[in-house]
Amino acid sequence: MAGKTPFKCEVLTPEGEVFNDEVTMVSTKTAVGSIGILAKHQPMLAMLNPAELRLHKGEGDDVVSMIQGEGYLQVQPDSTVLVLVDEVFERDQLDESEISSKLDRARQELESAEEGSAQQSEAKREVRRYEAFLEVARGGGAPAT
């Protein structure tokens, strides 16, 4: 993988900037599947699902691994990549037992929600989020690179 061209990547949440540096590749999961972004990628906008976000900073194993919530990925004409998500965590910040508890609560809310209600819709989103977080915490969930 020698010779990858670096480009700017920013990861932003409502609380502020989480990452701002040059990378050689961004890989994550969109609403339609896994994606890898390299320098000079065609401009695009994609919806992001909760998943692992991998920021490759150079050759080999120099990868920043984060867990993202829902959001958007934008590749700008100058190749800058913006990752705008509702939340993001360093991989080592995930507590598997805490996530399991949150997943159980979300499943209970989903079971008790009225069919077609806003509560049901929100509970489905939360179940999807915590299932994805749990998969990554257990060592899975890495997008194809």
Q: Is residue 2 part of a domain?
A: no
User: Which pLDDT does position 71 carry in this prediction?
Assistant: 95
23 and 86 share a domain? yes
DSSP state letters, 83-126:
EEES-EEEGGG--HHHHHHHHHHHHHHHHHSPTT-HHHHHHHHH
Give the H/E segment covering residue 48: strand 44-48
102 and 120 share a domain? yes
Euclidean distance between CA atoms 126 and 110, whole angstroms: 9
CA angle 55, 94, 91 (to 5 degrees): 15
* 115: Cα within 13 Å, side-chain hemisphere: 0
The whole domain housing 113 covers 95-137
- Counted domains in the chain: 2
List the chain pLDDT tens, one digit each, 145 residues: 446 899 999 999 999 999 999 999 999 999 899 999 999 999 999 999 999 999 999 776 788 989 999 999 999 998 899 999 998 988 777 788 888 898 999 999 999 989 989 989 988 988 988 888 888 888 765 444 3
User: Which pLDDT does position 1 carry in this prediction?
Assistant: 43
User: Which pLDDT does position 43 carry in this prediction?
Assistant: 95
Q: Is residue 41 part of a domain?
A: yes
* 42 and 20 Cβ atoms separated by less than 8 Å: no
46 and 73 share a domain? yes
30 and 68 share a domain? yes
* 13 and 85 Cβ atoms separated by less than 8 Å: yes
User: Which pLDDT does position 96 carry in this prediction?
Assistant: 86
User: Which pLDDT does position 142 carry in this prediction?
Assistant: 45
58 and 104 share a domain? no
